[in-house]
Structure formats: structure tokens, C-alpha cells
Amino acid sequence: MPNVKVFNMAGNEVGEMSLSEKIFGAEVNGAVLHSAVRAYLLNQRQGTQSTLTRTEVSGGGKKPWRQKGTGRARQGSTRAPQWTHGGIALGPKPRSYRTDLNKKTKRVALFSALSAKVAEGNLVILDECKLEGYKTAEMVKTFNALGLNKDVTKNYKDGAEVKSRTETVACKTLLVLPEVDKLVIKSCDNIPTAATTLYSTINVYEILNAEKLVMTRAAAEKLQEVYA
């Protein structure tokens, strides 16, 4: 059973929390994670792309020249695909990209994603997340106190010479809440690298897309109640 440290919004350690082995200590199944992410991305597609075929392009009702005797290739319409402004051959048409996974596969994928974050040390448990108003600066301060940053080496030109420097940038962070908190959600909306979600709507793509997963103690407990 994995144990993780619990921090407050000031970044101070306030205790430990035991997590469910079934949810946060499962074996990471890469194939199932791939299927879950692929299904999520496919389901985001609207499928409304459409091209016009030769029957849908306006014009071209008249045969451009007679069939024989001109020395040119025979043509029946100026709206055939080989003509400029002609129709599109075998182009995309509206379709549904919808794909579904069964409940067991979805759960295995979710447990694998959460377990991967724990194994990598990228899960942070927050004692509670409360704000007295819309305070983006407070959320930025909290993320910095929790150490949700990384060092990135960037190259730049100094005249003809190429030099490098190290900069500290914020990690992509997903904050999981136990219930809708407009103050916290709106405060995080102004942070480009931060996103919020609820324990009941969390999905595999969001977890894997985030570099750091921050979860309140209440959200973690409710998640374990639902799945364990």
C-alpha cells in the first residue's frame, strides 16, 4: 500500500496518507493506456469535414469539346477531378469517429495512469484547497510552494556564438477537486499551465497529459470510495 506525504497550501508537510494498492499501486498496462488515450482523442473529433465531389461542384454541365478529332484527350466535364476547380476524388465526408471501451478496460486504464504518477513521484496530495476570493496569485504561490516547477535548458544566440541557459518553468499541473469550487476553478483558469477537474470526471488523457497531478485529500478519499 503506497504512502504519500500530505502538504498544505504553504508547501509544508502536515502528515501522510495511505493510498489503495488497487488504485494507486497497480501494474501499469501500457497497451490499455494507449487504447484509452486513442479512444478519448477520437471521441473529441467532430467528423464534420466535407469535400465536394464532381457531382456537387457547380458548373461543368457542357462537354468542353467534341469527343474526336481535336487531338486532345476526351473530356466529359470541366468539373472532373483532374480539372482546376473540379471536384475532389475520394475526399473526406462527414462521419463519426466514436469508439467505446468497456467498463473493465476503462478502470484498468485509470488505475494504470494513477499508479504511474505515484511510481514516478508526480502525485502530490494537498490537505485542502480553499480560497477566500478569486486569487490567481494565491494558486501560483501554492504551486510554487509545492515545487511544481522544472529546470529547462534553452539555447540562444549571442552574436555568432550559441550559448545555453537554464530557466525554471512551471510544470503542467492537473488539480483534482472533490466538488465544484468556483473560486479555485476560476483562479486556476488564468494559469496557462494549470487545469482543474473533479474526482468523478477525471480521465486517463488528463492524467497522462499533466506532468504533475495534485489531488486534495478529500478527492483522493472519494476516489477510493468509488473504485475500491
pLDDT, tens digit, for every residue of 3-25? 899 999 999 999 999 999 999 99
Beta strand segments in 81-142, E: 123-126
Asked if residue 157 and residue 116 are part of one domain, the reply reads yes
- The pLDDT value recorded for residue 160 is 79
* 175 bridge partner residues: 196, 214
CATH code for position 121: 3.40.1370.10
Q: Which domain holds residue 82?
A: 47-96
Interacting residues of 121 by C-beta distance below 8 A, sequence separation 6+? none
161-170 and 149-158 strand pairing? antiparallel
Q: What's the pTM value of the predicted model, to 2 decimals?
A: 0.83
Per-residue pLDDT of the chain (228 residues; tens, 9 = 90+): 788 999 999 999 999 999 999 999 999 999 999 999 999 999 999 999 999 999 999 998 899 999 999 999 999 999 999 999 999 999 999 999 999 999 999 999 999 999 999 999 999 999 999 999 999 999 999 999 999 988 888 887 877 788 888 888 889 999 999 999 999 999 999 999 999 999 999 999 999 999 999 999 999 999 999 987
**Number of independent structural domains in the chain:** 2
Asked if residue 146 and residue 167 are part of one domain, the reply reads yes
Handedness of CA 98, 180, 175, 221 (dihedral sign): negative
Asked if residue 192 and residue 129 are part of one domain, the reply reads yes
* 18 bridge partner residues: 3
Asked if residue 161 and residue 215 are part of one domain, the reply reads yes
